[in-house]
Amino acid sequence: MLYVVIAYLWASIWLYLLLGGADFGAGIVELFSSKGNKLHTRNIMYKAIGPVWEANHMWLIIAVVILFVGFPQIYTLMSTYVHIPLAAMLLGIIARGTAFTFRNYDAIDDRWQKVYSKIFVYSSAVTPFFLGIIAGTTVSGTINPQADNFLDAYVLNWLNWFCVSVGCFTVAICGYLATIYIIGEVKEQSDKALFVRKAKFMIIAAFVFGALVFATAAYSGVPLAQWIFGHTVNVIAIVLAIASLLFMWKSLYVSSPVLLRILAGFQVTMILFAATSTHFPNIVLLHGGQALSLLEDVGSPKTIATLAWALLIGSIFILPALFYLMYSFGKENKEVIGHDA
């Protein structure tokens, strides 16, 4: 049953990156849009994510609950030594959701709409930035439970070049996912061409920040290159991701929206797999070579068994309803966007 819980944990993180990341990407794309097409981009993005954007946070909630219930030692360490970026990420989620709601549903259209828009786009970038910082911190080996001062214990473990570059890379990935997903929502060729250009911009940004991640990893002593290129399976995963990306680059205008989304999801999955598979089951690498393991630092067997059954039974009731929600609103959004275009 432990592997069932671990599978749900990995799946929840994966789905939050793919689905929640695309929602964050909507604000990121708007942030980097020119003044001339910012409003048009905003309207298309809103119609695409408006009805279901909040539902994607359930994947983050599931991951947090799994860690809290099934892996209390890991949860305690992360919430203690990475509490600053965690708090920043949660504040970003709250600010983004509040701004999104008031910007689109406020009865009075006044200058506050500009304030809401700024909060929305900047928090859309800040939130995945700190999510990436947290991810980088877990594998950087900088968390030191023996640290005897505030800076070493709670700041410098995440405020370093490697973690910041992972944060920037995460922002680029979210923007990329959003542009790829939205291409299938627009009907006009001019709109499609607009988002294809945005997708290519985000692909270039992801490559640049990806290279920066490897450079800062080497500078910080994080053996990222060895993890990824030192194992055949990981090399195959990266080669497949790059090959599918090159194919996508050449066929953005002609490939079906479904194929584009599958390819984008596949690429992110391969990157996530290559980045995490080498040091599994270790999920948090600590200073001095120690680590917290998903197989050893776990709750009691009864707790794990109960959690696994709760996840399995809950999936039977929740997942079909969630997928139907996305399907029904997605179908309605295509009709609305096509009509407005």
% helix, strand, coil for the chain, step of 5 = 80, 5, 20
Cβ(19)–Cβ(56) under 8 Å?
yes
Q: Where are the domains of the chain?
A: 2-219+285-340
CA pair distance 295, 100, nearest whole angstrom: 40
pLDDT in tens, the chain (341 residues): 899 999 999 999 998 988 888 888 888 988 888 777 777 777 777 766 655 556 778 888 999 999 999 999 999 999 999 999 999 999 999 998 888 888 777 767 778 888 888 999 999 999 999 999 999 999 999 999 999 899 999 999 999 999 999 999 999 999 999 888 888 777 778 888 888 888 899 999 999 999 999 999 999 999 999 999 889 999 999 999 999 999 888 888 777 888 888 999 999 999 999 988 888 899 999 998 899 999 999 999 999 999 999 999 988 888 787 777 666 665 555 544 444 44
